Amino acid sequence: MSYSKDVGEVSARFRPLVEVPSLTFSSGTNTRFVAPGSATNRQFGLFEWNMAAGPGGPDPHFHKTFSESFYVMEGTVQLYDGARWTDAHPGDFLYVPEGGVHAFRNASGAPARMLILFAPAPPREKYFEELYEIGRTGRQLSDDEWTELFARHDQYRAE
């Protein structure tokens, strides 16, 4: 039990759309940081991932300190559960515990949208902000630099 008082308290937090930061990558994919850990006492992070019609998505990887869940809201998203790729449609859900190999991509040729939930909440927006800056500036990273960047953000390549 994480709340021990016998009475409730006024502690809810409302975040209007205008206060939700977002990034649009060169691929056309837009991510909205709906509820980063800084807004949820680090209990979870919730991001909206709006994928453009073109292909794209991370290679198979895993995280050591947080779980990740995917909920498809529009279109078709290919989700990788560590063993196989599955075409996921609106309403489909994938939960990946810590250490679980996973990936996602949009190979449908049409836009797709999903929610990504991280728990507990790492400062995941910092990872995406760094990727955005790399893409925006055209900076080229060596394989070792990618490995270091990924490790700094608790992301490890799966072989």
| Tens of pLDDT, residues 22-81 | 999 988 999 999 999 999 999 999 999 999 998 888 999 999 999 999 999 999 999 999
Number of domains in the chain: 1
Q: What is the pLDDT of residues 117-145, one digit of tens each?
A: 999 998 899 999 999 999 999 999 999 99
Within a domain: residue 5? no
Within a domain: residue 134? yes
User: What is the model's pLDDT at position 54?
Assistant: 80
Q: What is the pLDDT of residues 90-111, one digit of tens each?
A: 999 999 999 999 999 998 999 9
pTM for the whole structure = 0.92
* Residue 130 structural domain: 23-157
**SS3 readout for the chain:** CCCCCCCCCCCCCCCCHHHCCEEECCCCCEEEEEECHHHCCCCCEEEEEEECCCCCCCCCEECCCCEEEEEEEECCEEEECCCCEEEECCCCEEEECCCCCEEEECCCCCCEEEEEEEECCCCHHHHHHHHHHHHHHCCCCCHHHHHHHHHHCCCEECC
Within a domain: residue 12? no
Within a domain: residue 108? yes
Within a domain: residue 13? no
Within a domain: residue 6? no
CATH code of 67's domain: 2.60.120.10
Within a domain: residue 18? no
